[in-house]
Chains A and B, each alone.
Chain A
């Protein structure tokens, strides 16, 4: 109850964002049971958040290596499954599927906080090697699935946590430079033809055919045609005619903007920005180093995932597939986001002031 009293604004924006998500998953996936399933996931997510919030995060930190190891093992195993629509991201369990890469995100936050929070080689470039290796291992496995979007999210997460951990700026610069070189190498070695074309199509739309920029074009058309007031819930022509691809997941924001227009888009944007900033403020108020790192990591993850999704939807970044936190359809994504929120709440509750 203390949590409720203290953090009602954060809880409110999260529930609001999820409610908007629920409405629009219902609109985008009309006639299927996805909205009902999403309801279930939302309930589960809130439950998990409560559970994580009540558990002392120090307990989780102590088990961080085990959790990380287990998920890394799952990410290796998943490469031996049959691909579902072109990528090996899913374990099929009866009537639902689990995406271990989603759960890797909170696990990595915990482990990085654990590693960066311990005094030791902090302040020396050697101290960067372990966090880098711990991030790159799951990234490489996720890239093999292939899932460029989820893997890409690990980069801002790691950078934000290194920054908050007090890494010297020039060391951080080295990491960013290394990331640049790595991206260049990925372009030549890892990326598939269609992934490269998507980026080129985003940069030079005139030279690339309808095929490569179709998703981008449909998304912009849906958003722009919504206008200020929108076309009304369940009245978006492009949504209802199936002209927006991946509309329940990656492009749910285009559906919101088409049907609720500028005000609806700004409202959802506000919820997500508020959630991110409230998480940041928890981190800012936390004195204990590991706790601050956990909260900052969770905030950075939620914020950068939301931003990546929104930037893709409005055409500020090339097409990549990441979900919109708390809003998009998908169980694993929903649970993972609420786990992160739970971690933030737990930090605020169980911080040990004396240790810092």
Chain B
């Protein structure tokens, strides 16, 4: 049996020798690698966010700016939870101080716990549990100050750093004993603020964190956005680098046209390693591969991934999204290294460059007036209103109702945000002014009139009899009234359908379509806001292509001629059309940014024709039997307050597929004699155009002319 004891000795000898060999491998052969890793383990780069630029209106009034924010952060490791176990979420809900903290902040205990849980979960996922993470933004300053007395003070460095090391530890312990909310830290940061709330919300847009999916897939799969990118970034890279374009296109799958950062990352993740590297190289400007060191096989180490995405926000809509780059400026960073027994060292530091101010052409007061006008039938009203300067193409107001308050998005996951996002029926985030598609109805008649006059298929003197009904084959086509003997001008004033059925018939469907396109329908106006819709201009070919059916003549031509049927336009397109009438045939490229250059397109319509139609529109508002007369000439109405100003415009009552009354349109320009302002207003299910929409437009125009009084009255059109 002694032999067996010797076996034991041999076994232990060999086993100890194995440790020696491993030690040699680690400490002699690979010492350099591990030295680098050790340096990296005690250093990290920290982002110093830049101050985001302001967004101001045309008079320099602030619509969006960064303000100091009083926040509460949580240091997950100090909460006293065992974060390695799955059960920490239940433990978190049982944390003793939660009810007291919720009371101090004036929120529900459950919602506070939910916020904390989301933040802690994120920190755990990133392995950053010993650093503070913001979980409650924008606390009232007095509340924050009183919380500060109760919060975890161990992170108040300034106070502690001044003490010698031993004393610091003791002081920290003592402070910790006093604190009622251990693990909760008071911190400050910059917060986006929208001082005018809902005003111009669709134009200004809002900021959001990267959504979890975006951030995670980028982080996990070796691609990381350097800093907050915009779609423009991506587009620019794709355009400037053919190899990037090729790569990106090869990554798309059939049926996917739009390339988003998220989609790209998802695709890249399924690519083999060497192709992934090609991506990282091609998109180097904004995509970098994580500093994942390829270690020798069997090595059980990897390097921390970059954590820059943590609190980064990105403009989601409106100008915040379009101008994200210039508003953001450049984030700075610093590389910190911990030194034993000393204070932290900054190895490298690059200061942030603040973002630049972006000036809008929007006038905050007029914008507010437009929003107010849209809501005059009730705050539940849905609609849109656009007003632009006919001389420059600058948009003075671009409103969509219902709106939202961009401040809601400052705190992620707030109740208002989820309400806004869930409101499927009213879609508050939807910008109806550039994305809402409506039939223009009778407003379109001015295009038919101009087109028919320009093409010579009708003359101003040509008359037709309106008996309230015409029959063509089996179809019966109605008019709103019995207008007897009408010419073009009177047909616009009283909005006679019969006249325009016939005028449309003289042109034919194809000519109607081409005149619609001439007046800007069916294509984007090119406004400097994202996601503009272009609408639909139907013609026989279009119907054949999309529906595979023949154009029904004359039924569909008739519908087309009075702006119904397949024709769909946005309020902005209508306002631009009015602008072209008002300024003598120059069609604008509308803009909300002051630095976007002016752009014009001359219409193929003679000034004489435009003058005829303008006169008709003036009479539609100012003749006692004009469709919009009542809205402007009522008791204490617009014309009583501003007798010197004549308005010109055209009403519309759009039938739509839904139930309920017609959509109410009113579009035009003012003053009629020397136009300054073109506008279009639509109120969904607002009834007749001469009602809700015209009244809203009158209210808006009152606000405009109150702000800029007229010197004297001059009648008639002088152009």
A220 touching B34 in the complex, CB below 8 Å, given contacts A266-B20, A310-B19: yes
**B8 touching A280 by the CB < 8 A rule?**
yes
Neighbouring B residues of A227 by C-beta, 8 Å:
27-28, 31, 35
Contacts of A292 in B (CB 8 A): 1, 5
CB distance from B299 to the nearest CB of A (A): 8
Pairwise interchain contact A269-B16, C-beta atoms closer than 8 A: yes
User: Is A240 on the interface with B (CB-CB < 8 A)?
Assistant: yes
Could you tell me which residues of chain B, from 72 to 87, have a CB within 8 Å of some CB in chain A?
82-86
Q: Residues of A within 8 Å of B, CB-based: how many? A: 64
Q: Mark B140-172, 1 if CB is under 8 A from A, else 0.
A: 000000000000000000000000001001000
Instruction: Kindly identify which residue among A220, A222, A300, A315 contacts B8, using a CB–CB cutoff of 8 Å.
Output: A300
A210 and B301 contact, CB distance less than 8 A: no
Separation of A235 and B341 alpha carbons in the complex (Å):
10
Q: Are the C-beta atoms of B35 and A164 separated by less than 8 Å?
A: no
Known contacts: A163-B7, A257-B23. The answer to whether A214 contacts B127 by CB under 8 A is: yes
Flag the segment in B36-44, B445-453, B486-494, B518-526 that touches A.
Answer: B36-44
In the complex, the answer to whether B84 meets A217 with C-beta atoms within 8 Å is: no
Give residues 147-203 of B contacting A (CB, 8 Å): 166, 169
Kindly report which residue of chain B lies nearest to residue A237, judged by CB atoms.
B340
Write the A289-312 contact mask toward B (1 if CB under 8 angstroms, else 0). Answer: 100100010011001001100110
Q: Residue B5 contacts which of A225, A269, A276, A283 (CB distance < 8 angstroms)?
A: A283
Residue among A163, A193, A221, A225 making CB contact with B86, cutoff 8 Å:
A193
- A303 with B12: CB separation less than 8 A: yes
Residues of B within 8 A of A354 (CB): none
Shortest Cβ distance from A192 into B: residue: B85
Closest-by-CB residue of A relative to B128 is A210
Most A CB atoms within 10 A — which of B2, B85, B304?
B2
Contact B31 A225 (CB under 8 A): yes
Shortest CB–CB separation between residue A315 and chain B, in angstroms?
Answer: 6
Nearest A residue to B17 via CB reads A273
Q: Are A296 and B8 in contact (CB under 8 A)?
A: yes
Closest Cβ of chain B to A302, distance in Å, is 9
Least CB separation from B31: chain A residue = A227
CA gap between A300 and B11 in the complex, in Å: 10
Cα A221 to Cα B42 in complex, Å, equals 11
Smallest CB-CB separation from B35: which chain A residue?
A225
Given contacts A31-B169, A281-B9, contact A220 B26 (CB under 8 A): yes
A273 touches B23 (CB 8 A): no
Which of A194, A220, A222, A299 gathers the greatest number of chain B CB atoms within 10 Å? A220
For the complex, give the distance between the alpha carbons of A162 and B169 in Å.
Answer: 52
Q: Is B124's CB within 8 Å of the partner chain A?
A: yes
Binding stretch for chain B, among A140-148, A174-182, A201-209: A201-209
Chain B window 275-309, contacts with chain A (Cβ cutoff 8 Å), 1 for yes, 0 for no: 00000000000000000000000011110100000
| Contact in complex: A237, B300 (CB < 8 Å) | no
Q: A211 in the interface, Cβ–Cβ < 8 Å?
A: yes
Contact A257 B300 (CB under 8 A): no
Residues of the B chain whose Cβ atoms lie less than 8 Å from the Cβ of A86: 82
**B343 interfacial contact with A, CB 8 Å:** no
* B6 on the A face (CB < 8 A): yes
CA distance A276 to B10 in the complex (A): 11
B13 within 8 A of A: yes
Whether B22 pairs with A316 at a CB distance below 8 angstroms is yes
A211-B127, A299-B8 known; A224-B13 Cβ under 8 A: no
Q: Are B1 and A164 in contact (CB under 8 A)?
A: yes
Judge if B24 is at the interface, Cβ distance under 8 Å: yes
B interface: dominant SS: helix
Q: Is B212 interfacial (CB-CB < 8 Å)?
A: no
Contact of A205 among B6, B19, B300 (CB under 8 A): B300
Could you tell me if A241 and B338 are in contact, using CB atoms closer than 8 angstroms? yes
Residues of B near A218 (CB, < 8 A) are: 41
CA distance A266 to B18 in the complex (A): 11
A262 within 8 A of B: yes
Chain B, Cβ-Cβ closest to A316: B22
Structural contact, A225 and B42, CB atoms closer than 8 A: no
User: In the assembled complex, which residues on chain A have CB atoms less than 8 Å from the CB atom of B37?
Assistant: 221, 224-225
B545 contacts A by Cβ under 8 Å: no
A335 interface hit (Cβ, 8 Å): no
Give bound CA distance, A288 to B22, whole Å.
38
- B residues within 8 A CB of A205? 299-302
Contact B84 A211 (CB under 8 A): yes
User: How long is the Cα–Cα vector from A193 to B86 in the complex, in angstroms?
Assistant: 8
Is residue B469 contacting chain A, with contact meaning CB distance below 8 A?
Answer: no
Q: Return the CB mask of A257-278 against B: 1 if under 8 Å, else 0.
A: 1000110011001001100110
Asked if B517 CB lies within 8 Å of chain A CBs, one says no
Counting CB contacts under 8 A, is B33 at the interface? Answer: yes
Contact indicator A225/B38 (Cβ below 8 Å): yes
B5 touches A223 (CB 8 A): no
Is the CB–CB distance between A224 and B34 below 8 Å? Answer: yes
Q: In the complex the two chains form, is A296's CB within 8 Å of B31's CB?
A: no
The answer to whether A61 has its CB under 8 Å from any CB of chain B is no
> Quick one: CB contact mask for B200-232 with A, threshold 8 Å, 1 for yes?
000000000000000000000000000000000
Q: Does A228 make an interface contact (CB < 8 A)?
A: yes
A155 contacts chain B at the CB level, 8 A cutoff: no
- Contact call B23/A265, Cβ cutoff below 8 A: yes
Judged by a CB distance under 8 angstroms, whether B710 is at the interface is: no
Q: Are B304 and A316 touching (Cβ within 8 A)?
A: no
- With A193-B85, A269-B19 already in contact, the answer to whether A224 and B304 are too (CB < 8 A) is no
A209→B127 CA distance, assembly (Å):
8
Which residues of B lie under 8 Å from residue A280 when comparing CB positions? 5, 8-9, 12
Of A192, A226, A281, A307, which one neighbours B27 at CB under 8 angstroms?
Answer: A226
- Which residues of B sit under 8 angstroms from A311, Cβ to Cβ? 19
A205-B302, A220-B301 as given contacts; A277 in contact with B85, CB under 8 Å:
no
Q: B295 to chain A: closest CB distance in Å?
A: 9
Q: Which chain A residues border B26 with CB–CB below 8 Å?
A: 220, 223-224, 314
Indicate if the CB atoms of A265 and B38 lie closer than 8 Å: no
> A158 within 8 Å of B by Cβ?
no
Contacts of A202 in B (CB 8 A): 300
Q: Tell whether, in the assembled complex, residue B42 and residue A164 are in contact, meaning their CB atoms are under 8 Å apart.
A: no
In the complex formed, the residue of A with least CB distance to B38 is A225
- Cα of A316 to Cα of B302 in the assembled complex, Å: 17
Q: Confirm or deny: B103 has a beta carbon within 8 angstroms of a beta carbon on chain A.
A: no
CA distance A281 to B12 in the complex (A): 12
* Minimum Cβ distance to chain B for residue A340 (Å): 14
A25 close to B (CB within 8 Å): no
Alpha-carbon separation in the docked complex, A27 to B311 (Å): 38
> Cβ of A276: which chain B residues have Cβ within 8 Å of it?
12, 16
The answer to whether B27 touches A228 (Cβ under 8 A) is: yes
Please report the C-alpha to C-alpha distance between residue A183 and residue B13 in the assembled complex, in whole angstroms. Answer: 26
> Which residues of B are found within 8 Å of A31, using beta-carbon distances?
166, 169
Query: What's the minimum C-beta distance from B128 to chain A, rounded to whole angstroms?
Result: 9
Instruction: Enumerate chain A residues within 8 angstroms of B28, measured Cβ to Cβ.
Output: 227-228, 262
Q: Would you give 13 A-B contacts (Cβ < 8 Å), ordered by A?
A: A164-B8, A218-B41, A224-B33, A224-B38, A225-B31, A225-B37, A238-B41, A265-B23, A266-B20, A269-B20, A277-B13, A284-B9, A316-B19
Kindly list the 6 A-B residue pairs having the minimum CB-CB distance in the complex, ordered from nearest: A224-B34, A240-B340, A210-B127, A225-B38, A273-B16, A205-B300
Residue ranges of B at the interface with A (Cβ–Cβ < 8 Å) = 1-2, 4-9, 12-13, 15-16, 18-20, 22-24, 26-28, 30-31, 33-35, 37-38, 41-42, 82-86, 124-125, 127, 166, 169, 299-302, 304, 338-341
Known A257-B27, A262-B28; further 5 A-B contacts with Cβ < 8 A: A210-B127, A224-B35, A237-B340, A238-B41, A277-B13
